[in-house]
């Protein structure tokens, strides 16, 4: 956020604290519980959300130099993302055109990729360099059997891929700024290209991927569920909400925001007392802290809408003078809160959704980020409920 916006959001929050209010959605929103476990719904989500939308793949530091690559399964699509020799970020489907083995594993730096199964090799541009048995594949048109290309982009220090192979005549470009709308300036201001990876943690809780995202989209639960951990740091059930297309920005008030009241209005520094949470549609949550940035991504479990894969990454400024121990401590507080308080309760909720006793859940007007998230999903899926 730019300073002017920080001041506006900070003052909005002070008003809410005084009036014991919070930003409100226009109306309550009811969602069928089946949205959290139905296989047909999950299949449509996969197409409309995890094939049609650009998916955040981490910060540019993951692909620092030419030849660097990462591999990931994105909602069932094996993705290979590369910084090619010319410095451009490119993405491919990570399957060999012979019989489908992955041509790369994990992450690293390479000049070419050699399939582990029968040794076919591909260059950093995805071109098939050759087969290992010339007779068996005589006449095979090498140029037509390169790795399948996926649209990808590097923007504001962030990597995105659209996990849907490019068809003939389609562009490999993604216009991220158009998609991010008003938040493009916020993300540019974070200077994410200056950050380096500090830690990555992955878990596979027994919950639908949307429950994992829901966890971050309201502060209503903080005084209740987190009363033994982080509750003292926050003003519960108090936040501002702004939407930009399907994306959302929730800003919570830290309890310390009260300190700025002693400062004349023009000189107030609100930022250290704000806790912004960006929800990047569809499956990413970005939390910019003062000395690090935290990302959460949730992916639907393969073939099972009742499971998901969640990743938390922490990035730190390249020039930080904070110790590794500082970041390790930060990581452990977050993991304790989310993995030991939020997700265990979420797993019980998932059982509740599936038991058949209730038809719907209700997101209150005091939970505008949740309302916006689920309304945006409904719009993207082209559904009325």
- Of these partners, Fe ion, ligand FES, none, which one is at the site of residue 216 (CB under 5 to 8 Å by kind)? none
Q: How far is the CB of 219 from Fe ion (least distance, A)?
A: 9
Nearer to ligand FES, 121 or 229 (CB): 121
Nearer to Fe ion, 242 or 342 (CB): 342
Q: How far is the CB of 96 from ligand FES (least distance, A)?
A: 3
- Of these partners, ligand FES, Fe ion, none, which one is at the site of residue 252 (CB under 5 to 8 Å by kind)? none
Residue 157, sorted as left (phi over 0), alpha (psi -120 to 50) or beta, turns out to be: left
- Of these partners, ligand FES, Fe ion, none, which one is at the site of residue 342 (CB under 5 to 8 Å by kind)? Fe ion
Nearer to ligand FES, 95 or 375 (CB): 95
Q: How far is the CB of 130 from ligand FES (least distance, A)?
A: 11
Q: Interface with ligand FES by CB under 6 A: which residues?
A: 96, 98-99, 101, 115, 117-120
Q: How far is the CB of 99 from ligand FES (least distance, A)?
A: 4
Q: How far is the CB of 58 from Fe ion (least distance, A)?
A: 23
Nearer to ligand FES, 37 or 137 (CB): 137
Nearer to ligand FES, 64 or 140 (CB): 140
- The answer to whether residue 342 forms part of the interface with Fe ion (CB under 5 A) is yes
Q: How far is the CB of 95 from ligand FES (least distance, A)?
A: 8
Nearer to ligand FES, 27 or 140 (CB): 140
Task: Considering only the stretches 60-68, 132-140, 277-285, 340-348, report the one whose residues sit in contact with Fe ion under the rule CB under 5 A.
Answer: 340-348
Q: How far is the CB of 206 from Fe ion (least distance, A)?
A: 17
Task: Considering only the stretches 128-136, 192-200, 247-255, 335-343, report the one whose residues sit in contact with Fe ion under the rule CB under 5 A.
Answer: 335-343
Nearer to ligand FES, 131 or 240 (CB): 131
Contacting positions for Fe ion (CB under 5 A) = 342
């Amino acid at each position: 956020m730019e300073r002017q916006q920080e001041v506006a959001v900070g003052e909005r929050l002070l008003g809410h604290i005084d009036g014991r209010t919070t930003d409100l959605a226009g109306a309550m929103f009811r969602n069928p519980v089946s949205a959290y476990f139905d296989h047909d719904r999950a299949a449509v989500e996969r197409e409309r959300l995890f094939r049609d939308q650009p998916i955040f793949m981490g910060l540019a530091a993951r692909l620092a130099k030419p030849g660097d690559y990462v591999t990931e399964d994105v909602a069932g699509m094996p993705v290979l993302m590369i910084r090619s020799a010319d410095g451009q970020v490119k993405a491919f489907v990570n399957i060999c055109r012979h019989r489908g083995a992955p041509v790369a594993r994990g992450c690293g730096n390479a000049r070419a990729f050699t399939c582990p199964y029968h040794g076919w090799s591909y260059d950093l541009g995805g071109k098939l360099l050759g087969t290992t048995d010339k007779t068996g594949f005589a006449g095979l048109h090498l140029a037509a059997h390169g790795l399948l290309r996926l649209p990808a982009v590097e923007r504001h220090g962030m990597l995105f891929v659209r996990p849907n192979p490019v068809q003939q005549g389609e562009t490999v470009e993604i216009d991220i700024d158009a998609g991010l709308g008003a938040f493009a300036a916020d993300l540019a201001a974070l200077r994410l290209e200056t950050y380096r990876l500090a830690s990555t943690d992955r878990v596979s809780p027994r919950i639908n991927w949307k429950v994992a995202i829901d966890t971050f989209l309201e502060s209503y639960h903080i005084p209740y569920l987190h009363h033994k951990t982080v509750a003292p740091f926050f003003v519960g059930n108090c936040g501002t909400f702004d939407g930009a297309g399907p994306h959302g920005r929730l800003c919570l008030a830290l309890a310390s925001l009260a300190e700025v009241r002693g400062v004349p209005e023009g000189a107030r520094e609100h930022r250290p007392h704000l806790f912004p949470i960006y929800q990047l549609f569809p499956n990413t949550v970005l939390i910019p802290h003062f000395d690090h940035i935290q990302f959460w991504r949730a992916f639907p479990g393969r073939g099972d809408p009742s499971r998901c894969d969640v990743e938390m990454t922490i990035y730190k400024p390249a020039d930080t003078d904070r110790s590794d121990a500082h970041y390790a401590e930060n990581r452990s507080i977050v993991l304790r809160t989310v993995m030991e308080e939020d997700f265990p309760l979420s797993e019980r909720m998932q059982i509740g959704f599936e038991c058949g006793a209730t038809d719907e859940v209700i997101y209150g007007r005091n939970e505008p980020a949740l309302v916006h998230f689920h309304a945006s999903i409904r719009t993207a899926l082209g559904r009325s409920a």
